[in-house]
Structure 1
Amino acid sequence: MSLLELDSDQLKELADRTRKNYEELKAKGLKLDLTRGKPSAEQLDLADELLTLPGKDNYKDKNGADLRNYGNAEGIADIRELWGELIGVNPAQLLAADSSSLNMEFDLVSWSCAFGNNDSQQPWFADEARKWICPVPGYDRHHTISEQFGFENVTVPMLEDGPDVDAIAELVKDPSVKGMWAVPMFSNPTGVTFSKESIEKLASMETAAPDFRIMWDNAYAVHTLTEEFPEIIDVLDISEKAGNPNRFWVMSSTSKITFAGAGVAFFASSKANLDWYLSIANTRGIGPNKLNQLAHANYFGSAEGVRAVMRKHSGILAPKFTAVQNILEERLGEYEVARWTKPEGGYFISMDVIDGTASRVWELAKDAGIVLTKAGSAFPGNDDPNDRNIRLAPSLPPQEEVEEAMDGVATCVLLAAIEKLGA
């Protein structure tokens, strides 16, 4: 029965029981953390073989180049060909870099601000008004980058098949709108995967700014929670056919596949975009860590080798996600005080609670020793206008801690809802 349908006696009985449950929760002295989407130690153990690779006397790529030396800003062919096959991108349009795609995203925005990109009439910093589109709920680190460079972050709602493309089409009529964040598969934090129709609309829409870019952060393209790997749509081909070949900056990495912070990141785009990027990257440095790229190529062996590793990750992650959903359903389903996503991949579950209570849920959980990502963090400036969204990250803790934490979170959600009703 919905919380709103309870009579006064039923509501009082539930309120008394929930407050008692909460006091018992606090008395446990828990120290549980569901804040960031980090791989667990069990997942990181899967890649321990990398610590022995590429191995003594193994320092040449398939073309015979000595990878111990400077050079090759594009990255080695061994890993570019493997990754291109994995994500459906022509290796000629794919660069392999160092460990962080987020670093490259920062560089792309930074360099466009300082110098302008290959379609710019002037550096972005020359424009006093700069705007960036942020589908919400979205990835907090994305929002921070555009905010860091003085953009006004403009939000559009995330729908079941991707962002509200009609709203985006209206926004890009403004020449001060320079870019948009996108996590197109198993999106952070909702788990939404953009439909092909939405992608085609994003690729073909007219924009007032000729240098408008969509940062296509495909971080979770192969992070399935099932046995199935969804089709990865070649957005570069779609945008070229739509007459906008330079629109997308496509990012990918191994960060949550092998070692976080010690993997390989990838940047795919049009030749014009890559030439512009390399013209500046070759000034900044003299090539990436090619031995690490070779180690990863040896470790995976093939695109199917990556998928085999990801099935192992799924075997570790999927039970945690199932536990979260089962506990929320068992504890909260009948009261209709929360809704949550049921993603088939990625690292997060997005939960909406009763409007005006998300901050209180976070506070109650914190006081009970359960640390959640702060309410509103999936919105620019940490400002959720409805104070309803909470991002849950069940990947890092052991299974038993995930279950204990979520049982506690359910108590906090229910208590916050009861307080909102004044019971």
Structure 2
Amino acid sequence: METIDAAEAPAASPEERLLRDALGDALEGELRVLSREPYGAGALTGFEETTAGFEEARAQTRYWYVDTSGRPVPEESGLVLGDPAAPQARIWLHPADPRLPALAAASFPDAAAALLARLGVTVDRAPELLVYRPGKRAMLRMRAGERETYLKVVRPDAAATIVDLQEALRGGGIPVPAITGWSALGIVLTEAAAGEPVTARLDAVDPARLLDSVEALQAAMGRVDTGRAARDSLALRDGWYRERLRAALDGAPGGEAAAARAALGALEAGIDAADPAALEVPAAELRTVHGDLHVGQLFVDGASAVTGLIDVDTAGLGDPVDDRAALLGHLVASIGLADDPDRARGYRRILGEAAGRWLGPAPQGGETASGETASGGAERTRLAHRLAVHVLAHALAPVERGELRVAAAQLGLGAAVLGREEAARAAGRGAARREGAT
């Protein structure tokens, strides 16, 4: 693996510069990018700050978030830069998320116990944070003996809507966990999902049966009327991801950076070559979709059939292709991140099956398990386009952390899945020749 010293690391992002300028000496440790996603007119970016102590056990970690969206919040909980009515940025220290006011209470044992007691739930262990998407939602596991309860923290004005959405899906036969309580403070309590996580059965799951079940699940979801739209397609933000990736990779030295730039160029060429007319989604093809589907949301039984589906907050009317692109993109990213070869192989088996049936040559006649005519054409064009954008989105954080090996692996695998591997290799060879000539 290529090592990168401080002089060769990618330049600090605008959000990191804002954080350093605002906090100055209050930042005592090294910063590492945790996450970044476009939001409003800017982005929401998370940083991990680790402060080393005299003993390793005394090392401290803090999590800072920088919000450049320009969007208002109900009440400030951190530092505001610029005009409070239209801030340049706001900065907060986790768990003081201004859009998730219940998160702070849910994050500490005594406060969480008191909060849940009001809903008739007893816990005997500290909350365990499983998922956190700043400004949007968090998921914590609460335990009492052998019983597990899952606490979802959301924006207060979204709690009732999420409850209605989840109940509509359960009524339509979708295997989402049962809700056991909720509050307008912005919390929703659910039972555990049925079955085992796919991510815990990567060595045993049957990819073909799993994908058959996913297609059947998509068809069932498509018949549920949720009365709302799904979250916007990631394809709408492709320009943002491309700009940030190019800026982060610009001038970075070494073979891994060159490979990442070459694969990025190949993916961008594929995005630009797509027929704009084929990217339009016919109204007749819109269905209820998950909105953020990936293997981490799926639970299965011993026969690899889906028995549980979680994190349905983003569900609503949308294009089923978006769910497939999200699932494929997450598999590509997971393979690039996997340190365990067995886990990587498990993800690859599912990716190979999914890419083969959704991006491969269209079957002659007949229908897929989801009831759609498998005629290729525009649907595959949309899927390829959106998958490319998902790959770019997943690769951004590793690039900005300086993990160029991971980013190059993700971008390269994405190019290979989309049949642009040779273009990426040719670009890489050209880049190597140019670097050798300078």
Compute the TM-score of the two structures, normalised by the length of structure 2.
0.25
Richer in strand (by share)? 2
Higher RCO structure, 1 or 2 (CA under 8 Å, sep 6+): 1
